[in-house]
Structure 1
Amino acid sequence: MNPTQIKRLASRYGIALSFEDARGNTVDTDPEVARKLLISMGVLDHAGTTLQPEQQAILPPAIVVRPDRAGRIAIDLGCAISARQIEWQLTLEDGSSRSGTAAVAAANADATAHLTLPQLPHGYHRLVLGHADAATMLIVTPGECWLPESFRRDERRYGLSLQLYLLRSASNWGIGDFTDLQHLARLAAAQGCDVLGLNPLHQMFPDNPEHASPYSPASRQFLNVLYIDVTAIAEYQRSAAAQKLVQSARFQQRLEQCRKTSQVDYSSVADLKLQALRLVHADFRTAADAQRITDYQRFVSTAGDGLHNASLFQALRDHFADTDPSQADWHLWPEAYHAADSEGSLAFAREHAEQIDFYNWTQWVAEQQLAAAKDAATAAGMQVGLYLDLAVGCDRSGSETWANPGDYMNAAEVGAPPDIFNPAGQNWGLPPLNPVSLIAEGYRPFIDLLRANMRHGGGLRIDHAMGLQRLYCIPEGSPPSAGAYVHYPVADLIGILALESQRHHCLVVGEDLGTVPTGFRERMEEANILSYRVLFFEADGDGEFKPATSYPRLAVAVAGSHDLPTLPSWLSGSDIDLKDQLGLYPSAEETEKQRQSRQRERRAVMRVLGLDGSSQQITPDVFSNAVHGFLGRTRSLLAMTQLDDLLGEHDPVNVPATSTEHPNWRRKYALPLEQIERSRGWRLLETLAAGRAEPANNGPDRARSSLPPASALQGAR
């Protein structure tokens, strides 16, 4: 297949032939890159033969529509139909049915026909066109995501975000847990916070706990069992074996060491928790009360094949990794175990039923404890409560790809092209959803992900929200610069997101940092998806930072994230020094360019914050106080601060484009949970609240006397 044919096929399947980079330059897609991505989608084979049928069905597997103002449903049939009337039958989501005959509008210039149906409820319905013998899932969306009533009244709120695993406490086992989360939710609510933002809580790899990035999970449909508080499980109180283990001198010694470390010791934490959990599970199987067993069985039944496959996968992984740790990746298992419904996998499931039940049970326990944390946040008065995070992808070797390999592009990885902050580009090592199979399956994988992650959250952050429209995909083995954007059916995905958001009463935030496609933020605004606005990125073409009054209403105003430097680090420039030490800049010239750029940014930020003098005269505490006051004064409906910034942390949680080069996802918070509310940094929430109390249209930004004095925050955390 020649380059011209490859380009034509690439365009048909959504591979962009060019894109504009962060500096405004046009980058053309290499035809060889496009060819490799077409192979990854299953459109081409390695010999260049087209695998997808040319003939299109009368109706796609799913159609997402938004009613017009009169409630009518207009459907593009996607083909020419000679008849002027057509019979239709609908099976609604509630099981009721409707039928009728509708006029078909004359074919348009593209030779496609249009059908209009009467008013339908929002939801997932089955439409059959009798004349054409065609069927589809008709997804009727409200088009707008849910917003709390206070947001609809333009009442500005604020909240706190954190990395749960970094919490210290006197009771946890060296990693933050769901009981800590309940405690912190009450503390934050008492300070007026309506939102408590969290890192992804997705299921990880118990056999390889040092694989710690919450953005590279085994499965995004289930939970990380290391967040379980073992001692809060009802059966623990009745398990003599578990209590004997935990109270033993050796166990207590190891437990105390896990608590004392400055970084999370994932291996030791996992070993301790899994030992105890297995003993509690054994007692649950033999001595749990009838109601608890009934609740557990209902959970397993409702979770269905998804839970069974995730637990079977982990049992298989334990089996192969125990023999040879290098065989943990399912791609290296014998072919007989490459599918959940293969004879080999089914036989293994029968032989290891208790091990699978253990993993099912840990998911039930985690689900219960997260639900309790959600209830604690709501009971404490939070209007949104837990604000969860949906990672942009999953690990290639995890259960998501094993159970449904066709849902993902084979031999391709998600990343980002070179930009100003990461000149070498980024490869996140995550397999992208396959847009061909996503459409063929009527968007089932996307719907399942949303439902799993909205169950226990009053809010959901969509990591790298531009993935709803396009993902930068890199053929396996290629550098980040040798990739291309792959497009997705953005209108349909946002429609489904709006429907699930309304059903779950879940606020949606789109993390729209990086290279944002033209018109994407307008789509977000139309759908009530809050934009993610970082103070240090909100500069105009002249390098001046936008005043608080210029921030969009439908947005979350923040100063940082897990991928960005903390406030003290940004002020001092230590993040640039660290990246230089890690070799993330291609040359010494680039490093110096970054330092000079930071100096200019500091001066501009000081101006917008209303701080006088050079940055050398501004202490981290004064700077942080001013930043929090500024965030509070923004027009954005939600302002968020990080626990890292309240506590004055310097070291980053994560350095993008690194893995083992830097201890990412491990640095614990400086203060234990029991001391946080007594820290001086905790008073920054008062600064944030004071800014929220001011009118949103308050003119030029200057330091205001109503804020707590900077001197109150001088010196220490």
Structure 2
Amino acid sequence: MKPDKETTPSPLQQLAERYGISSRFENAFGTTVAVSSETLGLLLDSMGVHIASEADARDALELAKARATAKLPASVVTVPRDGICRVEIRGGGLPNPLEWRVVLETGEQTSGTFDWSGMAPSESRMVLELTDLPYGYHTLRLPQVEAATHLIVSPGQCWLPQEVKDGQWGIAVQLYLVRSAGNWGIGDFSDLVALIGLAGGRGCGLLGLNPMHQMFLDDPEAASPYSPATRLYLNPIYIDVEAVPEWALSRAAQDLARSEVFQAKRERCRASALVDYAGVTALKLEALRILFTTFTDDAALERKAAFETFRHDKGESLRRASLFQVLRQRFASSGSDHVDWRAWSEDLQTCGSVALEEYAREHRDEVDFQDWLQFVADEQFALAAEAARRKGMAVGLYRDLAVGCAAAGAETWANPDAFLRRSLVGAPPDIFNPAGQNWGLPPFDPVELGREGYRSFAELIRANMLHAGGLRIDHVMGLRRLFCIPEGKSPAEGAYVSFPLDDLLGVLALESQRQHCLVVGEDLGTVPSGFRERLSAANVLSYRVLFFEQDFDVGTFFAPDVYPALAFANTGSHDLPTLLAWWRGDDLVLKQSLGAFETEEETRSQHERRARERKNILAAFASEGLVPDGSNPSLVTPEAFARYAHRFLGLTGAMLLSTQLDDMTGEIDPVNVPGTASEHPNWRRKYRLTLEELANDDQAWSLVEPLARGKPVHA
């Protein structure tokens, strides 16, 4: 569809802008793209604003203007200055003095009057000044004008301890790919503890983890950790079954594990070069169901009390996540057409309905089992975090928060109002992806977030900071805007939707300080002007990948002293080739075989570009005295390049430096090839070395010595 050509914004365009939907944007080619009326209408519809005609648009616009004149917005996020919180009140006709009341998150109340006679408020606004309010989630009321708002008082900056400012290094690991003598074919929480022992004993300050989000137990082969059922809970596949306390009490579970059939299945899972998600999940759930019976019958009263406390603390959120898993398994057994909750009957789509409550009562044991899985997973994850603290790791576990969740998952089912309906996140067409991208993930509704006082966002951040000293926010530009595509449309038919950046950063800073968890923003790709500066002001570390730290117009790589101090500098990510593969060009050969390059000319162009990048990165290394000036790339081995890359990063002043376990173990095959699904075994390739082999691999540990910046790296 051709974009609308209008010189004066139409009522529909004005309405869209009021809801944060951009009616035009500049693409990667420098061209201004006008968004079609159809797209604007569909995105407004996803926010609950239904426009069927121009008259509807005019009426909705007038209503939006009227709402904008309310005395208080739905939410106010404020950072105290000199102990004073400032709240803007809109409109004139305010009484003087103005009475106010704040209900603190603790339930306590504070109140007073504000005399603004000495001020000169405009006809459209006045600033209320409140003193000595604690940080937190409160409610402000103005009883004389019957106005109220969610008042969030934030420290404004994320947590950043001195140990991090002094510099730390770490290792990024995809836990599910870990091999060890004890696991059942997938890395588990006990492997994480073992890796903490190996790395922490060598001075490592953090272990970066893939998203640990809960997946679909009825469909374990849907393995991407970036498309989870819910980001609020953990994936129980990481449970080490034999480390569950009930294991020692359960003769039945031990007999099962000793049976020939079970052992044969487990050995096949262990021996497989690729993670057998279905096989491992089946084995673990069979054993865990037995252990749950043991827990129910024989666990000590103290342990049962701990379980009930866990459930009480998680509340309705956990109950809904568990009930969803039970429902999914029911529908999965009757055919895939019924798995997506949006195809369920209306009474099962609505949390709290009579039908759902009845179903939960009838399947109470199954819901209890799902709750218990989360209890055990949390318990083992907490033990890993404690192991990191005992090792003196400055950050410890560094978690990863996916940009979204599956549209058919528990997160959208349990909290549908928080998400845009029938819209998905992606990226517009650009140089590397001419067709654009559709990530298939529903975005939060920015308007609804404000109405609810950012509760859903705060709960999400809080859940993912649990047991962590650091949190990576995937596609952090989503705090400012997301490219949203109406369902059924191509990425070329999407538009940017704005988010309240300052408010979200305020909530993020509040949770970061409360949880003592630093924040890293994955700011790769098209970064809006001034965005990195705003993140830096909030103490959010910038995510700097070696391959991308170059002037793409000129082709030169940035020198180490160009890297900002407030940064997380690293050798790569799950979406990028390993160092060895990049130098050899294996990733280009793989993409070519998968049909990622549409023409021979594009294939040739990609290889020529890589040849230039090899030459240019060696020149950057030479400028730092790491290799002789004018070194011939053809004479540099991939292994030598990997060593140079680590030495180069070690020269930067970035607070955090990280390698990937993939680079330490010398991997060639990628973890994930973006833009592929079944064409490539993404999220499945195991590490070449077992943990036991890694412990004694001097070459692997010598590779990361430069990241320690002069500190010894030894056991």
TM (norm. structure 1) is 0.94
The residue type equivalent to 2:144 in the other structure is: H
- Equivalence for 2:602: 590
The residue type equivalent to 1:487 in the other structure is: S
> Does residue 100 of structure 1 match 2:118?
no
**Rounded Cα–Cα distance in structure 2 between residues aligned with 1:81 and 1:207:** 59
- Equivalence for 1:358: 369
Contact in 2 for aligned 1:423/1:586 (Cα 8 Å): no
The residue type equivalent to 2:547 in the other structure is: F
- Equivalence for 1:656: 674
Matches within 5 A, 1:272-671: 272-540=283-551, 541-610=553-622, 611-612=627-628, 613-671=631-689
The residue type equivalent to 2:584 in the other structure is: S
SS of residue in 2 equivalent to 1:451: helix
**Rounded Cα–Cα distance in structure 2 between residues aligned with 1:686 and 1:564:** 19
Kindly tell me: are residues 117 and 589 of structure 1, through their superposed partners in 2, closer, same or farther at Cα, counting changes over 3 Å? same
**Rounded Cα–Cα distance in structure 2 between residues aligned with 1:506 and 1:239:** 38
Kindly tell me: are residues 208 and 99 of structure 1, through their superposed partners in 2, closer, same or farther at Cα, counting changes over 3 Å? same
Matches within 5 A, 1:54-65: 54=64, 55-56=66-67, 57-65=70-78
- Equivalence for 1:222: 233
Contact in 2 for aligned 1:648/1:681 (Cα 8 Å): no
Question: How many positions carry a matched residue from both structures?
Answer: 693
- Equivalence for 2:710: 693
| 1:254-300 alpha-carbon deviations (Å, 9 max, x no partner) | 00110000100000001000001111001111111000000000000
Contact in 2 for aligned 1:146/1:506 (Cα 8 Å): yes
Contact in 2 for aligned 1:330/1:338 (Cα 8 Å): yes
| 1:136-169 alpha-carbon deviations (Å, 9 max, x no partner) | 2211111000012223xx4121100010000001
The residue type equivalent to 1:416 in the other structure is: A
- Equivalence for 1:699: none
**Rounded Cα–Cα distance in structure 2 between residues aligned with 1:686 and 1:356:** 45
Shift of 1:22: 3.2
**Rounded Cα–Cα distance in structure 2 between residues aligned with 1:138 and 1:107:** 24
Contact in 2 for aligned 1:644/1:669 (Cα 8 Å): yes
**Rounded Cα–Cα distance in structure 2 between residues aligned with 1:429 and 1:246:** 39
Contact in 2 for aligned 1:424/1:585 (Cα 8 Å): no
**Rounded Cα–Cα distance in structure 2 between residues aligned with 1:649 and 1:214:** 20
Match of 2:220 among 206, 209, 212: 209
- RMSD across aligned positions (CA): 2.0
Contact in 2 for aligned 1:424/1:584 (Cα 8 Å): no
SS of residue in 1 equivalent to 2:327: helix
Match of 2:28 among 18, 22, 25: 22
**Rounded Cα–Cα distance in structure 2 between residues aligned with 1:332 and 1:433:** 21
The residue type equivalent to 2:249 in the other structure is: R
Kindly tell me: are residues 499 and 354 of structure 1, through their superposed partners in 2, closer, same or farther at Cα, counting changes over 3 Å? same
SS of residue in 1 equivalent to 2:491: coil
Shift of 1:653: 0.6
Contact in 1 for aligned 2:702/2:713 (Cα 8 Å): no
Shift of 1:455: 1.3
**Rounded Cα–Cα distance in structure 1 between residues aligned with 2:45 and 2:596:** 31
The residue type equivalent to 1:74 in the other structure is: R
**Rounded Cα–Cα distance in structure 2 between residues aligned with 1:196 and 1:639:** 11
Shift of 1:524: 0.6
**Rounded Cα–Cα distance in structure 1 between residues aligned with 2:120 and 2:600:** 62
Contact in 2 for aligned 1:218/1:398 (Cα 8 Å): yes
Unaligned runs of 5+ in 2: none
Contact in 1 for aligned 2:437/2:491 (Cα 8 Å): yes
The residue type equivalent to 1:112 in the other structure is: R
- Equivalence for 2:79: 66
Match of 1:91 among 103, 107, 129: 103
**Rounded Cα–Cα distance in structure 1 between residues aligned with 2:188 and 2:123:** 56
**Rounded Cα–Cα distance in structure 2 between residues aligned with 1:128 and 1:441:** 16
Kindly tell me: are residues 107 and 81 of structure 1, through their superposed partners in 2, closer, same or farther at Cα, counting changes over 3 Å? farther
Contact in 1 for aligned 2:658/2:707 (Cα 8 Å): no
SS of residue in 2 equivalent to 1:27: strand
SS of residue in 2 equivalent to 1:131: helix
Shift of 1:46: 5.3
Shift of 1:391: 0.5
**Rounded Cα–Cα distance in structure 2 between residues aligned with 1:200 and 1:108:** 49
Calculate percent identity across the aligned residue pairs: 50
The residue type equivalent to 2:597 in the other structure is: Y
Matches within 5 A, 1:46-195: 49=56, 53-54=63-64, 55-56=66-67, 57-68=70-81, 70-104=82-116, 111-151=124-164, 154-195=165-206
**Rounded Cα–Cα distance in structure 2 between residues aligned with 1:258 and 1:538:** 39
- Equivalence for 1:714: none
- Equivalence for 2:692: 674
Shift of 1:47: 6.0
Match of 2:42 among 17, 20, 36: 36
SS of residue in 1 equivalent to 2:659: strand
Contact in 1 for aligned 2:568/2:655 (Cα 8 Å): yes
Shift of 1:425: 2.0
Shift of 1:107: 7.3
**Rounded Cα–Cα distance in structure 2 between residues aligned with 1:480 and 1:376:** 45
**Rounded Cα–Cα distance in structure 1 between residues aligned with 2:501 and 2:23:** 18
The residue type equivalent to 2:148 in the other structure is: A
Kindly tell me: are residues 338 and 367 of structure 1, through their superposed partners in 2, closer, same or farther at Cα, counting changes over 3 Å? same
**Rounded Cα–Cα distance in structure 2 between residues aligned with 1:148 and 1:16:** 38
Contact in 1 for aligned 2:701/2:713 (Cα 8 Å): no
Contact in 2 for aligned 1:423/1:585 (Cα 8 Å): no
SS of residue in 2 equivalent to 1:258: helix
SS of residue in 2 equivalent to 1:128: strand
**Rounded Cα–Cα distance in structure 2 between residues aligned with 1:249 and 1:12:** 65
The residue type equivalent to 1:115 in the other structure is: L
**Rounded Cα–Cα distance in structure 1 between residues aligned with 2:433 and 2:676:** 11
**Rounded Cα–Cα distance in structure 1 between residues aligned with 2:200 and 2:28:** 39
**Rounded Cα–Cα distance in structure 1 between residues aligned with 2:613 and 2:638:** 16
Contact in 2 for aligned 1:450/1:500 (Cα 8 Å): yes
**Rounded Cα–Cα distance in structure 2 between residues aligned with 1:141 and 1:413:** 30
Contact in 2 for aligned 1:158/1:688 (Cα 8 Å): no
Contact in 2 for aligned 1:81/1:113 (Cα 8 Å): no
**Rounded Cα–Cα distance in structure 2 between residues aligned with 1:384 and 1:110:** 50
The residue type equivalent to 1:283 in the other structure is: T
Contact in 2 for aligned 1:21/1:515 (Cα 8 Å): no
Contact in 2 for aligned 1:81/1:112 (Cα 8 Å): no
| Residues 641-650 or 316-325, more deviating | 316-325
**Rounded Cα–Cα distance in structure 1 between residues aligned with 2:515 and 2:235:** 22
**Rounded Cα–Cα distance in structure 1 between residues aligned with 2:701 and 2:142:** 62
Kindly tell me: are residues 14 and 119 of structure 1, through their superposed partners in 2, closer, same or farther at Cα, counting changes over 3 Å? same
Shift of 1:527: 0.3
Unaligned runs of 5+ in 1: 695-705, 709-717
Matches within 5 A, 1:250-269: 250-269=261-280
The residue type equivalent to 1:146 in the other structure is: W
**Rounded Cα–Cα distance in structure 1 between residues aligned with 2:598 and 2:147:** 56
Shift of 1:637: 0.5
| 1:170-222 alpha-carbon deviations (Å, 9 max, x no partner) | 11111000000000011111121101000000000011000000000000000
**Rounded Cα–Cα distance in structure 1 between residues aligned with 2:171 and 2:343:** 42
Contact in 2 for aligned 1:568/1:650 (Cα 8 Å): yes
